[in-house]
């Protein structure tokens, strides 16, 4: 844990005997509103940015921020490990579309959060990380938990800086938040030394930007001529396809995207956070024929996703197609492969403009060809599904992981937010799980971080208390952050945890077996056989072990009922076959 010596006491302690009341303390700090501390300036600035919740783990460097948050009505959710706090801030940003915020103490408090911030960086999630530091008066003297935080955080953030005066705290927070939303979203880091936070200043000397008065519109469509060019391309295309990536949901451009694919009859594929933009069964929703669609298309539009390893660095796109890329970041467009047209701007604004420009342009012949194209892809989707059904409905023992994925999809409701946390767990479930609504799919993203699930579950439930949250873990990923299930219970944010337990880090294990043989294939990747249902019971919740495929659905129903009844998180631990792997794992495509 990253707590320093001064914070080793229990969270709730008896108040010392004193004649000074909390109201007296507040009056002394504010002096009728004329004087304010640095921590209170942090809270005021966060409130101005629309932050209503911070995720944190306490430390002596940052406690005045808590005092300010209480006064400003900002919810404080304290966790057991800073990695979870950072993942939760990321998850909260993904779910709300607003700025996520994590507050950590100095030294290990910051380093523990690095994985979560790096995950947000690769996932383009707007997260403000505020970190503590030793006092300026102790600079380079070896103060407790002193590290060069800004230098460490700079490569994995869009903005990293230290605050050197109390008067500038609110201004610097607004500056960092502005960077989080400049172009493609991402995280920022601010280090605030302890004496800067604790110092009190006349509020008239503090720089506090006025909410809503220092933001430019981000809904740019780029060059109008390019809108016309793309509209013309789509109007004349006979076999167009569109891939909607995470930026479409992050920028809340999904309604414009849906309107475009329906108005122009374009087959749509989805990845990352955009899974669920169209419900399963929608005639424009496709998910099993991406390779065929890319190979045969004459126009391919890629929106809000880079040509990274998930796209084969652009090599998986048909060479005979006109490839169009739309992104919020200029640096992403045309990176790793040539394109016919690139547009930089807001995905929703661009797609809305293209839809309007293309209206009425599609010729009757092209429209007929396009409908034949959709029918061709739909037939191929049905064939692909039929090939998978024997795996989805397998009764083998040990349980086939594809059967678990299928049962999870059948179990989801229109109000279930699905989270995948693991390697093959995410890859396999992506072939079966079809979220019912926008924002109902969460995964680690391009960094491939294990351990995101618990923080994401906390955040999803905090942002959507009326919805069910289900996190499907691998047993390896569950073991990384599971203890913050207690945090979920403590704050009344229960969720349903399902574990695909093969007692191994199986995605890596396959590659080792293939490369080094059976004798050395199990080195460094086998785990113990842990009955994780007992973990939920230890925390006062419901737990169940499942070893037969026929018992998956009944166990999930019992767990759902227990969460609703008891208000505690539940664990369904499903023992799956360690000899089964995802196709991408077998092909080792994540490394190609």
- Give the HSE-up count for residue 212: Cα atoms under 13 Å, Cβ half-sphere: 0
What pLDDT is attached to residue 33? Answer: 62
Among 330, 348, 375, the domain-final residue is: 375
Does residue 107 share a domain with residue 45?
yes
Residue 386 within a domain: no
What pLDDT is attached to residue 10? Answer: 32
Q: Is 23 exposed, middle or buried (CB count within 10 Å of its CB: 0-12, 13-18, 19+)? A: exposed
Does residue 140 share a domain with residue 9?
yes
**Cα 176–Cα 182–Cα 183 angle in degrees, nearest 5:** 150
Find out whether 218 and 180 touch, Cβ atoms under 8 Å: no
Residue 213 within a domain: no
Does residue 264 share a domain with residue 351?
yes
User: How many angstroms from the chain centroid is the CA of residue 423?
Assistant: 15
Q: What is the C-alpha to C-alpha distance for residues 92 and 460, in angstroms, rounded to an integer?
A: 6
* pLDDT tens string 103-157: 999 999 999 999 999 999 999 999 999 999 988 888 887 887 788 999 999 999 9
How many separate domains does the chain show? 3
**Cα 293–Cα 295–Cα 300 angle in degrees, nearest 5:** 65
β-bridge partners, 356: none
3-state DSSP of 245-274: CHHHHHCCCHHHHHHHHHHHCCCEEECHHH
**Lowest-confidence region among 114-123, 209-218, 277-286:** 209-218
Tokens of 140: 């380079």
Does residue 232 share a domain with residue 185?
no
- Whole-model pTM: value is 0.91
Tokens of 529: 């056989």
DSSP letter at 44 equals: H
Residue 380 within a domain: no
Domain extent for 417: 393-591
What pLDDT is attached to residue 142? Answer: 81
Q: Which long-range contacts (CB under 8 A, 24 or more apart) does 146-153 make?
A: 146/106, 146/107, 147/106, 147/107, 147/110, 147/111, 149/106, 149/110, 149/189, 149/191, 150/189, 150/191, 152/110, 152/111, 152/114, 153/110, 153/114, 153/117, 153/129, 153/189
CATH of the domain at 131: 3.40.50.970
Residue 480 within a domain: yes
Find out whether 279 and 415 touch, Cβ atoms under 8 Å: no
Find out whether 135 and 191 touch, Cβ atoms under 8 Å: no
Mean pLDDT value across the chain = 91
Tokens of 29: 């700090």
Residue in 432, 376, 382 with CA at minimum distance from that of residue 408: 432
Residue 539 within a domain: yes
Tokens of 116: 């979560």
* pLDDT tens string 577-592: 988 878 878 777 666 6
Does residue 239 share a domain with residue 174?
no
Cis peptide bond upstream of 501, omega within 30: no
**Lowest-confidence region among 51-55, 257-261, 283-287, 424-428:** 424-428
* pLDDT tens string 292-320: 999 999 999 999 999 998 898 999 898 88
Residue 218 within a domain: no
């Amino acid at each position: 844990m990253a707590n320093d010596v001064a914070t080793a006491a229990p969270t709730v302690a008896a108040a010392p005997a004193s004649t000074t009341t909390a109201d007296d303390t507040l009056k002394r700090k504010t002096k009728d509103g004329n004087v304010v501390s640095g921590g209170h300036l942090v809270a005021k600035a966060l409130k101005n940015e629309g932050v209503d919740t911070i995720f944190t783990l306490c430390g002596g460097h940052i406690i005045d921020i808590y005092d300010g948050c209480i006064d400003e009505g900002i919810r404080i959710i304290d966790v057991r490990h800073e990695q979870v706090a950072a993942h939760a801030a990321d998850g909260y940003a993904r779910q709300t579309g607003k700025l996520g915020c994590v507050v950590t103490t100095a030294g290990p408090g910051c380093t523990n959060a690095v994985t979560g911030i790096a995950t947000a960086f690769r996932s383009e999630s707007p997260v403000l990380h505020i970190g503590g530091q030793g006092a300026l008066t102790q600079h380079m003297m070896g103060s407790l938990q002193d590290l060069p935080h800004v230098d460490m955080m700079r490569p994995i953030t869009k903005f990293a800086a230290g605050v050197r005066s109390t008067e500038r705290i609110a201004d610097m927070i607004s500056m960092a938040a502005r960077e989080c939303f400049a172009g493609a979203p991402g995280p920022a880091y601010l280090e605030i030394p302890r004496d800067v936070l604790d110092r009190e200043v006349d509020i008239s000397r503090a720089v506090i930007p006025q909410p809503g008065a220092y933001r430019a519109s981000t809904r740019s469509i780029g060059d109008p001529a390019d809108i016309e060019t793309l509209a013309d391309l789509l109007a004349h295309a006979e076999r167009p396809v569109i891939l909607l990536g995470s930026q479409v949901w992050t920028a809340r451009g999904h309604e414009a995207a849906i309107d475009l694919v329906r108005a122009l009859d374009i087959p749509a594929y989805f990845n990352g956070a955009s899974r669920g933009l169209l419900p399963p069964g929608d005639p424009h929703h496709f998910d099993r024929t991406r390779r065929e669609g890319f190979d045969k298309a004459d126009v391919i539009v890629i929106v809000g996703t880079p040509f990274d390893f998930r796209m084969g660095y652009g090599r998986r796109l048909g060479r005979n197609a006109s490839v169009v890329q739309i992104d919020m970041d200029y640096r992403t467009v045309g990176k790793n492969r040539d394109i016919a047209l690139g547009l930089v701007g807001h995905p929703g604004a661009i797609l809305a403009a293209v839809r309007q420009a293309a209206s009425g342009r599609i010729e009757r012949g092209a429209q007929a060809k396009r409908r034949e194209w959709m029918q061709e892809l739909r037939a191929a989707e049905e064939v692909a599904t039929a090939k998978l059904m024997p795996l989805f409905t397998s009764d083998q023992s040990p349980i086939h992981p594809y059967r678990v994925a299928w049962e999870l999809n059948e179990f989801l409701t229109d109000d279930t937010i699905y989270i995948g946390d693991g390697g093959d767990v995410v890859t396999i479930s992506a072939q079966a799980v079809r979220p019912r609504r926008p924002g109902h799919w969460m995964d680690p993203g391009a960094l491939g971080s294990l351990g995101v699930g618990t923080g994401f579950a906390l955040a999803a439930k905090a942002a959507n208390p009326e919805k069910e949250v289900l996190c499907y873990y691998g047993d390896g990923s569950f073991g990384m952050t599971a203890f913050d299930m207690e945090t979920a219970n403590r704050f009344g944010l229960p969720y349903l945890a399902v574990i695909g337990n093969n007692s191994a880090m199986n995605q890596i294990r396959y590659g080792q077996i293939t490369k080094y043989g059976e004798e050395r294939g199990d080195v460094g990747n086998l785990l113990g056989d842990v009955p994780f249902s007992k973990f939920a019971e230890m925390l006062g919740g419901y737990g169940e072990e499942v070893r037969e495929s026929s018992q998956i659905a009944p166990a999930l129903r019992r767990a759902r009922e227990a969460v609703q009844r008891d208000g505690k998180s539940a664990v369904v631990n499903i023992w799956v076959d360690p000899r089964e792997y995802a196709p991408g794992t077998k092909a080792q495509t994540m490394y190609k």
